[in-house]
């Protein structure tokens, strides 16, 4: 989520995120468009922000780990300082915007997901559960990222022009198992089903 009137962005690049999060005591992964870049090993469009996924159950550890950053809950088009309180998916408290100084630009969007010890859980439909080792992949450089079919599932809800571009680049390059999973979880009349034939 990037809303210009909420302040400028100067997103960290993936290398800077890896340098920061490599010692994190919780599971994390690159999400958003940059996860799709990592999957294909190349980019095809600019990114307005950098997204890092974490599990909601790890938020206490996230707050402690980023205690020297300025963290805000981004929900319903508004920002509110986050002081470590529980965040509720039912209130759409699924993103934390981060900056390094009180008046600095936003540098990171933490996307909050759900999961158990064994499985990643799709927050929009908790019946969809995928073992973590299938949901979070590792790039050749050792960077964890959300599996492309799951990232596209998030992007499929309200398809923006950049999401359509991503789908057209990524779906034809998915392996058979990932194509089948995406075909199964998308509605049968979703516009991307044409790319999955």
pLDDT tens digits for 15-65? Answer: 999 999 999 999 999 999 999 999 999 999 999 899 999 999 999 999 999
The count of domains in the chain is 2
Instruction: Check pLDDT > 80 for residue 5.
Output: no
Same domain, 138 and 167: no
Q: Please report, for the chain, how many H helices and E strands are present, in that order.
A: 7, 10
pLDDT at residue 90, as a whole number: 83
Report how far apart, in Å, the C-alpha atoms of 28 and of each of 3, 17, 85, 110, 193 are: 24, 10, 19, 10, 30
- The DSSP-derived string for 26-39 is S-EEEETHHHHHHH
Which residues have a Cβ under 8 Å from the Cβ of 89 and sit 6 or more positions away? 56, 112, 114, 123
Same domain, 76 and 111: yes
How many residues comprise the chain?
197
Same domain, 113 and 196: no
Which residues have a Cβ under 8 Å from the Cβ of 40 and sit 6 or more positions away? 169, 170, 173
Among 129, 146, 163, where does a domain finish?
A: 146
* Mean pLDDT of the 101-107 span: 95
Same domain, 141 and 169: no
pLDDT tens digits for 131-173? Answer: 999 999 999 999 999 999 999 999 999 999 999 999 999 999 9
CATH code for position 58: 3.30.460.40
Place 197 in a pLDDT band, splitting at 50, 70 and 90: confident
Q: What is the pTM of this model?
A: 0.93
Same domain, 43 and 138: yes
Q: By C-alpha distance, which of 35, 5, 11 is closest to 154?
A: 35
Domain coverage including residue 181: 148-197
Helix H or strand E segment including 79: strand 78-81
Same domain, 80 and 117: yes
Same domain, 83 and 178: no
């Amino acid at each position: 989520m990037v809303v210009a009137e909420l302040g400028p962005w100067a997103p960290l690049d993936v290398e800077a995120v890896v340098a920061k999060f490599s010692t994190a005591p919780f599971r994390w992964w690159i999400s958003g468009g940059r996860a799709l870049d990592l999957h294909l090993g190349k980019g095809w469009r600019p990114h307005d922000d950098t997204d890092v996924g974490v599990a909601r159950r790890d938020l206490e550890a996230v707050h402690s780990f980023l205690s020297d950053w300025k963290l805000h809950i981004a929900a319903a088009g508004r920002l509110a300082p986050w002081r470590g309180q529980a965040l509720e998916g039912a209130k759409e408290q699924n993103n934390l915007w981060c900056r390094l100084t009180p008046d600095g630009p936003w540098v990171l969007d933490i996307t909050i997901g759900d999961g158990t010890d064994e499985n990643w859980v799709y927050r929009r439909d908790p019946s969809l559960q995928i073992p973590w080792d299938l949901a979070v992949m590792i790039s050749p450089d050792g960077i964890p990222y959300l599996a492309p079919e799951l990232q596209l599932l998030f992007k499929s809800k309200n398809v923006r022009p950049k999401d359509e571009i991503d789908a057209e680049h990524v779906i034809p390059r998915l392996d058979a198992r990932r194509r089948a999973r995406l075909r199964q979880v998308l509605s049968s009349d979703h516009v991307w089903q044409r790319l999955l034939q």
